[in-house]
């Protein structure tokens, strides 16, 4: 599946600017959300191909948001990749247990984001 539309959920405007710049440079459309509930609502509305999700957010954190996405029949097939400052091995394990496909630790390199936009057989 080619990634064309990406939902980015982070409560930091600075992170949005940086991640949006990286994703937009690949030609993908970026949809933004600043909270877990907004991410769920926009995912239902926009049907993104991929979701980048921060873990540490007020009200509804990334783990809870991911669990809700995974339990929603309309959204459960959308891959979720966490982007977070949490960098322990237990964080990576917990992220996968919540339904996340991967975890990228902040600070990250542009390539770490771009690599997630390319499906394994699509690399040339």
Residue 124 lies in a domain: no
Is 122 domain-assigned? no
Query: pTM of the prediction?
Result: 0.92
- State the average pLDDT for the chain: 92
Residue 64 lies in a domain: yes
Please report the pLDDT score of residue 28 as a whole number: 97
Q: Which residues pair with 41 in a beta bridge?
A: none
**Domain containing 92: what range?**
5-114
**Could you tell me if residue 119 is inside a domain?**
no
Number of domains in the chain: 1
What's the pLDDT tens digit per position in 4-44? 999 999 999 999 999 999 999 999 999 999 999 999 999 99
The tokens for 43 are: 């995912």
The pLDDT value recorded for residue 124 is: 42
Residue 34 placed within a domain: yes
- The percentage of residues in the chain with a pLDDT greater than 90, rounded to a whole number, is 83
* pLDDT at 110 exceeding the cut of 50: yes
Which pLDDT score, from 0 to 100, does residue 92 have?
87
pLDDT at position 15 is 94
Name, in order, each residue with C-beta under 8 angstroms of 86's C-beta and a sequence gap of 6 or more: 55, 56, 103, 105
Q: Which residues contact 99 (CB under 8 A, 6 or more apart)?
A: 66, 67, 69, 70, 80
- Is residue 120 included in any domain, yes or no? no
Domain with residue 17: its CATH number is 3.40.50.2300
**Residue 119 predicted with pLDDT over 80:** no
Q: What is the pLDDT, as a whole number, of residue 1?
A: 64
Q: Other C-beta atoms within 10 Å of 117: how many?
A: 20
The pLDDT tens digits for 75-91 are 999 999 999 988 888 88
Domain-located, residue 16: yes
């Amino acid at each position: 599946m080619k990634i064309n539309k990406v939902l980015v959920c982070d409560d930091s405007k600075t992170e949005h600017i940086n991640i949006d710049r990286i994703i937009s440079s690949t030609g993908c459309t970026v949809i933004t959300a600043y909270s877990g509930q907004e991410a769920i609502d926009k995912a239902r509305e926009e049907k993104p191909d991929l979701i980048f999700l921060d873990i540490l957010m007020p009200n509804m954190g990334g783990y809870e948001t991911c669990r809700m996405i995974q339990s929603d029949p309309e959204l459960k097939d959308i891959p979720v990749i966490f982007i977070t400052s949490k960098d322990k091995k237990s964080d990576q394990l917990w992220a996968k247990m919540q339904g996340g496909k991967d975890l990228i630790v902040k600070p990250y390199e542009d390539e770490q984001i771009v690599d997630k936009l390319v499906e394994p057989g699509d690399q040339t």
